Copies of this chain bind each other. A is one copy, B any other.
Amino acid sequence: MKKLSRSLENYIEAVFIVSKEYGKCRVTDIQKKLKVSKPSIVNALSILKKKKLLFQEKYGLIYLTESGLKTAKKIYKKHTTILKFLENIFDLRAVKAEKIACDMEHIIDKKIQNKMEKILKNFNPEVKKILYGEKDETFAIKRG
């Protein structure tokens, strides 16, 4: 399946998050999440339907297909990893980190995501000090 555009990735991710948070998803919910007009959403949904990534009851609820769910989960996981990385490693505040993660998730690939996860797993205030050179780790080198 051809890679989704940045825009379509955002829509399918929104469907996933809204469904997760509210237990269901309608056009209006996506509107609140993404702050775009309803026709824009309808248009995006029609493309995602053609790609069999989701379906919708007439004038009603939106559901991800199995393959849509798989796709959305990947994007969402990447999003949360990037978010944590921005907050923890770069000290970004939640709101700003959220915005930047939203853009970065369409760029970062699996390899970088894995590296981020590995770093986060092991991250703590001491590692942070060393990373930013606020602590001399040379003695650690000598003993390492």
Which residues in A have some Cβ–Cβ distance to B below 8 Å? 86, 89-92, 100, 103-104, 107-109, 111-112, 115, 118-119, 121-122, 126-127, 129-133, 135, 137, 139-141, 143-144
The 8 Å CB contact of A132, one of B103, B107, B118, is: B118
Q: Let me know if B127 and A131 touch, CB within 8 A.
A: yes
Residue from B107, B126, B127, B144 within 8 A of A103 (CB atoms):
B107
A137-B133 contact in complex given A104-B107, A112-B100, C-beta closer than 8 Å = no
A118: B residues at CB distance < 8 A? 132-133
Q: A127-B130, A140-B126, A140-B140 are in contact. Are A111 and B135 (CB under 8 A)?
A: no
Closest to A112 in B: B90
Closest B residue to A126 by beta carbon equals B141
With A104-B104, A144-B129 already in contact, the answer to whether A111 and B139 are too (CB < 8 A) is no
Chain B neighbourhood of A104, CB < 8 A: 104, 107
Q: Which residues of B contact A143 (CB under 8 A)?
A: 139
Chain B residues near A91 (CB, 8 Å)?
Answer: 115
